[in-house]
Amino acid sequence: MIYLDNAATTRTAPEVVEAMLPYFSDCFGNPSSIYGPGSKAKKAVNEARHTIAESLGVKPEEIYFTAGGSEADNWALKATAEGYEHKGKHIITSKIEHHAVLHTCKYLEKRGFEITYLDVDTEGKVSPKAVEDAIRPDTILISIMFANNEIGTIEPIGEIGAIAKKHGVLFHTDAVQAYGQLPISAEALGIDMLSASAHKLNGPKGIGFLYIRNGLKLRSLIHGGAQERSRRAGTENVPAIVGFGAAVERAQRLMEEKQTKESMLRDYLIERIETEVPYCRLNGHRKDRLPNNVNFSFSFIEGESLLIMLDMKGICASSGSACTSGSLDPSHVLLAIGLKHEEAHGSLRLTLSEENTKEELDVVVEAVKSIVERLREMSPLYEDFLQQGQ
Ligand SMILES: *Cc1c(COP(=O)(O)O)cnc(C)c1O
């Protein structure tokens, strides 16, 4: 198997699994209990919180564990809306956000909030000037993702953070794809809230966090016990939190090495596909791009057929985002960067890890070449195109 879908999820690192195991058995206690196994669990949760806080340059009490990135995004937007609606009911976001943000915005629209969905340019960049121009006296929140999960474009987060601060508007970023891949300093970038998820950085699934800067008036997500400073009640998912901490420690330690290796593999893959497969287009920004993201559109083919045929050769990839597969709608991200419906349908996302090798990528390039050629041979559109050319 060649796994090239690390934007959908990553393999839990063996050292992460190892770190988690004792918290299912010996240290099974409830962190709220005062006896030995409980206090051990509590200590482990605190350590993970410290590791994560340190990675962002924030305080441990500003990290709130959630059940993942979607939950953190939902919480940030809905609770800001409720907590600040006395100031205004306008929110600014972009057209290329993850559905966890976009569908939450739709929900808020039904409840009387007004949302501005900013356009992006053809490489998927949000313009800081467009953000500033969209700010109104009743704007309470700007939510722009750190890096896009489909096309890998990295957004100008520092500039947007500075604009938000200048206008006294809160700034949330969905950093689920960027966290663990890129260095992030919440303070320097002017970030008030940040969402992350462990399973995108070799941690376990079902655990994430929302960073909430001290002083923000956000309502609790879950009412009950005093866990997470009473803002998200419920007994902590201790093994997952410990695993998240171990994954963050690992990601921080390997970040430079991973960046170097993955971006080299990424550029190799992009170069080979661009030179060897005719009628293709690279989606996303050439330079400001996640180190592990490759996204192409191939004219005259269906991405779904390409995926199925790649799967038969043991290659795991994606067409758009994992959340959109199963639906026939083309990716909203690819449409937002100006692709036509048929171009968006012919897209392929390959997201690498440091475990991939050049030899694997050679196999993938040969597979893509031959499958694209075969699919085009069966395509009436391609036939028309060839006849027009003659
Ligand atoms: C994966 C992802 C999410 C959702 O995270 P889950 O932990 O799977 O809920 C949100 N935003 C982005 C950008 C993602 O890539």
Active-site annotation holder among 105, 280, 316, 323: 323
As a whole number of angstroms, the distance between CA 241 and CA 49 comes to: 8
Indicate the pLDDT class of residue 216, thresholds 50, 70 and 90: very high
Tell me the mean pLDDT in the region 58-85.
98
Quick one: pLDDT at residue 16?
A: 98
Quick one: pLDDT at residue 46?
A: 98
Pocket test for ligand 1, best of 98, 154, 293, 333 (most atoms within 8 A of CB): 98
Q: Would the pLDDT of 321 be above 50?
A: no
As a whole number of angstroms, the distance between CA 229 and CA 364 comes to: 48
Is any atom of ligand 1 closer than 6 Å to the C-beta of 100? yes
Q: Report the nearest-CA residue for atom 10 of ligand 1.
A: 69
As a whole number of angstroms, the distance between CA 15 and CA 202 comes to: 10
Quick one: pLDDT at residue 327?
A: 63
Run of H or E residues at 248 = helix 238-276
Question: Out of 1-10, 209-218, 319-328, 362-371, which region has the weakest mean confidence (pLDDT)?
Answer: 319-328
Quick one: pLDDT at residue 324?
A: 47
Is any atom of ligand 1 closer than 6 Å to the C-beta of 176? yes
Q: Would the pLDDT of 94 be above 90?
A: yes
Tell me the CATH number of domain 255-389, given options 3.90.1150.10, 3.30.70.20, 3.40.440.10, 3.40.605.10: 3.90.1150.10
Name 79's Cβ contacts closer than 8 Å, sequence gap at least 6. 218, 219, 221
- Decide if 316 is catalytic: no
Question: What's the distance, Cα to Cα, between the start and end of the chain in Å?
Answer: 41
Q: Would the pLDDT of 322 be above 60?
A: no
Q: Which atom of ligand 1 is nearest to the CA of 67?
A: 7
Q: Could you give the strand order of the β-sheet that contains 347-351, starting from the edge strand earlier in sequence?
A: 280-282, 293-298, 347-351
Q: Which atom of ligand 1 is nearest to the CA of 321?
A: 15
From the CA of 143, how far away is ligand 1's center (Å)? Answer: 14
Name 218's Cβ contacts closer than 8 Å, sequence gap at least 6. 75, 76, 79, 80, 83, 212, 231
Tell me the mean pLDDT in the region 285-309.
96
User: Residue 37 has which token pair?
Assistant: 């196994």
Q: Is 145 exposed, middle or buried (0-12, 13-18, 19+ CB in 10 A)?
A: buried
Question: What are the distances in angstroms from CA 278 to CA 272, 303, 375, 385?
Answer: 11, 16, 13, 13
From the CA of 122, how far away is ligand 1's center (Å)? Answer: 23
Tell me the CATH number of domain 14-251, given options 1.10.3720.10, 3.40.50.300, 3.40.640.10, 1.20.1530.20: 3.40.640.10
pTM greater than the 0.95 cutoff? yes
Quick one: pLDDT at residue 320?
A: 59
pLDDT digits (tens, 9 = 90+) for 187-205: 999 999 999 999 999 999 9
Indicate the pLDDT class of residue 390, thresholds 50, 70 and 90: low
